[in-house]
Structure 1
Amino acid sequence: MTDDRTAKTLRSIAPYLADWASFQAAYHGMPGLQLAVGRRGEVFVDLAWGTANLETGESLTSDHLFRVASHSKTFTTVIVMRLVEHGKLRLDDAVGELVPELDGSAAAGITVRELLGHQAGLVRDSSDGDFWQHRRPFLDRAQVLECVRREGVVFEPNEHFKYTNIGYSLLGIIIEEVTGKTYDEMARVAVIEPLGLTRTGTELDPARAAEYAAGHTGRIAHGDTRRVVPHVDTRAMAAATGWYSTALEMVRYGATHVLGDTTLLSDKSKRLVQREESRVVVRGAERGRYGVGMALGTIGDREVVGHSGGYPGHITRTWIDPVDGLVVSSLTNSVDGIADQIATGVIHLINLALAAADDVAASAAGGEPVPPVPDDAPVGRFANLWGVADVVDLGGILHSINPRYARPDEQAQRLVVVGGRLVQEPVAGFSTVGEPVQVERDADGAVTAVRVGAMTSWPIDEFRARRA
């Protein structure tokens, strides 16, 4: 697919991406959602939906700050790799040589690369990780080092992938030891200032307290009342989990991990960071993949990189296609936030639209004809007793999509013109494939009801009124 066709398709479906994501957030009872979608310097979606603080009723905006938690590890990785590129640090340098307090400890031989790839075998959060539920403060420098000395080593290096916040906190200390600057100072020089970020930083900033979206508790049962979870300083654990940002600035930052963009790192460094370092398999089931400081995933036919984040009250996810340039960042402000589901679902919708656009282009080039979407197509959101369906043009082909599904592509159905009639695509299937789409209209031509199959559905507001 040409870049022009990709950009055109993304522009055309951007309103629906925002609408679908908003429906998902509302359906799952999220307080608020920020979503941004960008590609190669163009932003297609910059959505703020819902509430920043349920106790005050403050509406969420695109400027509200979210704690992006373990996204911090990707920022730390960038700082480390920039030090490597400038000859200030080597990936095979040992911890004991870099941090004098750890010389002679069981962790002394662990390397920088093993820390970056979670192959160091270190304890995840110490034996008392109740800072994650605000029962104690996050660890300071002395406490991190004491944890590493006293209980840090759980596995031998490279014995198992073992995700560790203590390991990344140690990387923050290493950055300070190597440079003689604070972690925050290095982050500003290495990431924030080169990108001109104004709503991104390493740690809770009391001067900006009013700008943060409140975190909220999760729900154990559907009707549970959410409570605000206050923001706290993550202290020496900032390199693992302290950063804040917005979805829009996360997309700007994510774009620097696309191959060809050397604003922060060379492509050589990015290939190392994004190469599979670990495939996490437990009893034959794959649980995930990780590179050298970034998570790896597959969404459709896209190989993506990025990270998730879990901070008390905020759940976040950013995915980056380093070849195509697509970046999607989803930020939610509750402990049970569905940020990953939304970011991944948005990419599935994009893939669905681009596949349709490819088919339309192939048709125009002499392939099997794809009739255009009728000018009077019954586009909109419809509902009946059994659920909700969106009729939407994706990539030049009309689709019927259930917006409640986390994987909208799995149940999506094309609606095509056959013999002058709009029908559900005549393919094999368990639904009413091949059957006509029936449309009712008022005297002005507005759609009052549709039958995609045998049952009548009404525009969603009309259905709600009927149900009341």
Structure 2
Amino acid sequence: MTITPPTSPRWTVSDSTRASIDAVFAGFTNTTPGVAMAIYRGGEIAYANGYGMSNLEHNVPITPSSIFHVASISKQFTAMCIALLQDDGLLDVDDPVQKYIPELPTYEYPITIRHLIHHASGIRDHWMLLDLSGWREDDLVTMADCYDLVRRQQELNFTPNDRFMYSNAGYMLLAMIVEKVSGKSLREFAHERIFAPLGMTRTHFHDDHSEIVPGRTQAYKPRTGGGYRVSIPQFDVVGTTSLQTTVEDFAKWNAIFESPTICSAEMLAQAQTPGTFNSGEPMAYGWGLFLEEWCGQRRVWHSGSNHGYRAYYFRLPNLDFGITVFANLSTVAPDQLAARVARIVLGDLLQEDSDAEISTTEHSDIVMVDPAAMVGVYLADNPTDNEPPLHVQLDEEDSELIMPFGRESVSLPLADDGRFQLWSGFGSCWAMEIDDSGIVQKICVQLPATRETYSRLDTSSARRNITSFAGTYYAPELDISIQLVEDATSGRLSWRQRKQEDRSVVLLDTNTLGMGSLDASIRLEFSFDENDMPTEFRFSADRVKNLLFVRQ
């Protein structure tokens, strides 16, 4: 793809364009949660509006000044704090992390601050570790809780800087480094050096879950049977998340990339420069920002997702175009909404995109299929190391297909072109291959940055009885025990741990079990003694690899 060279902007937001933009959000009304949206140009807001309700209980509408939790969009601000401290001469991003956090283990390979910034450290993700330790989504989680789990980890997911693997723990550690070096909390430092100078008066790092924030939106998830339920974060974790802001305030942040005020132009260029792997290959990530090509343009972006909040921000630097879409409903795909608005505004300035987003409107024809035709376990055709299986289940109570996606579970509506729309993810397209008997044999999943094909697993050739894996297993790096429990009636195996519902386990091959929980797809690789009895297994999911469990 050829990148369009820098050009003077040739776009405006006319009255007719505004009407077309508003039509994109017509599904958000005075009875639903919704979104705030803003388009930026020349350091100013070209158009902003709110759609739907900020608070359903009190009939408060969303406006451009409504405050949203924007989750991982926070990371670019944490990275900027680190850059400012380096510019002050108080740290070097190539310093080892243990220089500032000496309580961390000394791993086989050194980890630097730069590795944390680029998600190339290999440090296991604390959200997955919390899930695995029995924490529920609505439990109160603090920085100390996350750090305690991270510092217990004696192994890494991979050799630092060999690969990219998104790790929220890395940015949690960056927040700790800001505090250690500056003597101020991340909230205080970011306020003094970023938010106050820029006039972002309705923006802060939210480090106290009990704090009252006037003008903040309530967040929601759909309730089974209709309506909505409240879903807001219950954690005091910053750095990796917890920025609260508005689409109006965000205009002031977006403007600094064109007219630096709080830092040098060189620092901003660094933030938008890809990291480099040990191999010399470039990453698709800078300092808290993804970097990619889209529709013939360079796109700088990040998304955010916690509980019922969804957020998306992207810039097209060569067109002086920026957009934010912040939502307070878990089933909104803000990246798709932002892309649709960009196409309306920019028109022919954008090239056709081979992986164009699927419309999120509800006007597509829906066809009836037998959900049982898709239920099963699928393995990646070109897996990375210990990649977990794709486990599609059937919720018999609600007659919906359920697919684990990150820390969420989602239903999969099928459109008449054979594609699924992953409503609570970020713009995922699904395609299937179906055999003559109507059974799905392959699933292709297109995410914004990757595409993977999964083939149905045939477990009929596995020679080991699944019940032989039953027993109690202990994870020393988590200090927890789990049980693999046999159901005497069905002969099936389940994963059991405290504070969690049992999760079904399936046999992938002679030495491997797979688990399709509602939180993540998981792979368990077993070792055996001379009597062919399991002695331990290594747990691998999307952001935690090779975590040891020893049989008791």
Contact 2:122 2:160 in 1 (8 A): yes
Contact 1:72 1:242 in 2 (8 A): yes
Cα distance 1:386–1:198, how it changes in 2: closer, same or farther (>3 A)? closer
Q: Which amino acid aligns with 1:274?
A: Q
Equivalent residue, structure 1, for 2:72: 70
State the Cα deviation string for residues 323-376 of structure 1 (Å, max 9, x = none).
Answer: 4321100011111222111112111222216579xxxxxxxxxxxxxxxxxxxx
Q: Which amino acid aligns with 1:172?
A: A
Equivalent residue, structure 2, for 1:111: 112
2:240 is paired with a residue whose SS is helix
Equivalent residue, structure 2, for 1:308: 303
State the Cα deviation string for residues 404-448 of structure 1 (Å, max 9, x = none).
Answer: x99xxxxxxxxxxxxxxxxxxxxxxxxxxxxxxxxxxxxxxxxxx
**Residue 349 of structure 1 pairs with residue 353 of structure 2:** no
Contact 1:330 1:343 in 2 (8 A): yes
Equivalent residue, structure 1, for 2:324: 329
Cα distance 1:218–1:88, how it changes in 2: closer, same or farther (>3 A)? farther
Distance 1:351 1:31 in 2: 28
1:316 is paired with a residue whose SS is strand
Equivalent residue, structure 2, for 1:247: 247
Structure 1, 315-324 or 171-180: larger mean CA deviation: 315-324
Cα distance 1:30–1:94, how it changes in 2: closer, same or farther (>3 A)? farther
Q: Unaligned 5+ residue runs, structure 2?
A: 1-5, 278-282, 352-362, 366-420, 424-552
1:83 is paired with a residue whose SS is helix
Equivalent residue, structure 2, for 1:53: 55
Cα distance 1:211–1:84, how it changes in 2: closer, same or farther (>3 A)? same
Distance 2:214 2:45 in 1: 26
Distance 1:46 1:132 in 2: 39
Contact 1:93 1:112 in 2 (8 A): yes
Distance 1:149 1:57 in 2: 46
**Residue 275 of structure 1 pairs with residue 279 of structure 2:** no
Equivalent residue, structure 2, for 1:366: none
1:152 is displaced (CA, Å) by 6.5
Cα distance 1:152–1:228, how it changes in 2: closer, same or farther (>3 A)? farther
Correspondence 1:107-186 to 2 at 5 A:
109-125=110-126, 126-129=128-131, 134-141=137-144, 143-150=146-153, 153-186=156-189
1:64 is paired with a residue whose SS is coil
State the Cα deviation string for residues 201-254 of structure 1 (Å, max 9, x = none).
Answer: 10066554342111101467xx6321112343x32x311011101112123212
1:31 is displaced (CA, Å) by 1.6
Distance 1:182 1:296 in 2: 29
Q: What is the TM-score normalised by the length of structure 1?
A: 0.66
1:43 is displaced (CA, Å) by 1.4
Contact 2:272 2:300 in 1 (8 A): yes
State the Cα deviation string for residues 283-342 of structure 1 (Å, max 9, x = none).
Answer: xxxxx9322321123331221112101011100000012343211000111112221111
1:309 is paired with a residue whose SS is strand
1:142 is displaced (CA, Å) by 6.0
- Structure with a larger share of its residues in strand: 2
- Structure with a larger share of its residues in helix: 1
Distance 1:2 1:336 in 2: 36
**Residue 338 of structure 1 pairs with residue 333 of structure 2:** yes
Distance 1:114 1:273 in 2: 14
- Count of aligned positions: 342
Q: Which amino acid aligns with 2:10?
A: T
2:263 is paired with a residue whose SS is coil
**Residue 217 of structure 1 pairs with residue 215 of structure 2:** no
Cα distance 1:176–1:225, how it changes in 2: closer, same or farther (>3 A)? same
Contact 2:69 2:244 in 1 (8 A): yes
Contact 2:40 2:254 in 1 (8 A): no
Cα distance 1:210–1:217, how it changes in 2: closer, same or farther (>3 A)? same
Cα distance 1:106–1:64, how it changes in 2: closer, same or farther (>3 A)? same
1:69 is displaced (CA, Å) by 0.5
1:160 is paired with a residue whose SS is coil
Contact 2:109 2:159 in 1 (8 A): no
Distance 2:262 2:108 in 1: 30
State the Cα deviation string for residues 177-197 of structure 1 (Å, max 9, x = none).
Answer: 111111111111121111011
Structure 1, 307-316 or 38-47: larger mean CA deviation: 38-47
Distance 2:276 2:81 in 1: 21
Contact 1:200 1:249 in 2 (8 A): yes
